[in-house]
Amino acid sequence: MTTFQYGANVNANGIRQHYLRYGGTRPHRDPVIILPGITSPAITWGFVGERFGQEFDTYVVDIRGRGLSEASASLDYSLDAQAADLIELTSVLGLSRYSVVGHSMGARIAIRAARSQPAGLARIVMVDPPISGPGRRAYPSNLSWYVDSINLARKGCDLEGMRSFCPTWTDGQLRLRSEWLHTCDERAIRSSFESFHTDDIHSDLPHLDVPARLIVAGRGDVIRNEDIEEICSLVSGIKVVRVDNAGHMIPWDNEEGFYAAFADFLGVTLDF
């Protein structure tokens, strides 16, 4: 049985923000907000929302410029604006306490939002966040990979057309990406990719005052051992879990390992 409740649009931080809700109210358990990565509309994280919805009131968010949230030539796509979106969304939704799970870009948004120590934030999970920034090594993916695949999707493509960009993905994953990738505004993607290299999230990390967990992909080059050591030196008490047999898109590669990495950090385990 599905845990999907509904999709909705709200005006928060002065823009239309769209989210998908799973599970519904769970007394005595903090709601969970999931922030996807740079080219992941909320619906592509629906399978994760379904699983979280079995245990939590879960909101999977379309980041501005993605999915059904607002996009325009004049919209501010900065990390600060995205962080403000999260804080204002929780206020509009009336969430007095909540946890945030951010993947990749979503993790950077969560970190920047947490820096301001917003009321209600109970804990934060950072899933393979890009650690690039001023004076640091570049993010390992190329901007052209994103832009070229978006342009292909904008014209219309099937799963086979998308396979050249994501050769290890299943047919179902490819079909969903080819259907929804065109909703990612290229201006938003370019701005966020630039932000990976100009925004310093390491200066934000010491200001985190809530329990934090770092989930790292066992494969790939987004986070190295020395990066983990640095993050641990900046965030007191952070727990680090590595998910074996998974690249950057961890739940796509090892869904069971992804859920296991949370253990009971959110208040209850997420068994597969």
pLDDT greater than 90 at residue 193: yes
pLDDT greater than 90 at residue 200: yes
Give pLDDT, residue 81. 98
Q: Give the pLDDT confidence of 141-183 residue by residue, as tens digits.
A: 999 999 999 999 999 999 999 999 999 999 999 999 999 999 9
Q: Give the pLDDT confidence of 47-88 residue by residue, as tens digits.
A: 999 999 999 999 999 999 999 999 999 999 999 999 999 999
What are the b/e assignments for 73-108, b being 16+ CB within 10 Å? eebbbbbebbbbbbbbbbeebebeebbbbbbbbbbb
Would you say how long the chain is, in residues? Answer: 272
Give pLDDT, residue 183. 98
Higher pLDDT pick, 220 / 32: 32
| Proportion of the chain above pLDDT 70, given as a percent | 100
pLDDT greater than 80 at residue 272: no
pLDDT greater than 80 at residue 198: yes
> Could you tell me the CATH superfamily of domain 4-260?
Alpha/Beta hydrolase fold, catalytic domain (3.40.50.1820)
Give pLDDT, residue 178. 97
Give pLDDT, residue 220. 87
When pLDDT is averaged across residues 91-99 and rounded to a whole number, the result is 97
Rounded Cα–Cα distance for residues 93 and 39 (Å): 24
When pLDDT is averaged across residues 206-221 and rounded to a whole number, the result is 96
What does pLDDT average to over the chain? Answer: 97
User: What residue spans define the domains of the chain?
Assistant: 4-260
pLDDT greater than 90 at residue 10: yes
| Proportion of the chain above pLDDT 90, given as a percent | 98
**CA distances, 68 to each of 60, 132, 170, 181, 203 (Å):** 12, 28, 24, 11, 32
As given in the structure block, the two tokens for residue 38 are 């740079």
Rounded Cα–Cα distance for residues 74 and 164 (Å): 32
Rounded Cα–Cα distance for residues 187 and 194 (Å): 11
Band of residue 271 on the pLDDT scale cut at 50, 70, 90: confident
User: What pTM was estimated for this model as a whole?
Assistant: 0.98
pLDDT greater than 80 at residue 224: yes
Band of residue 14 on the pLDDT scale cut at 50, 70, 90: very high
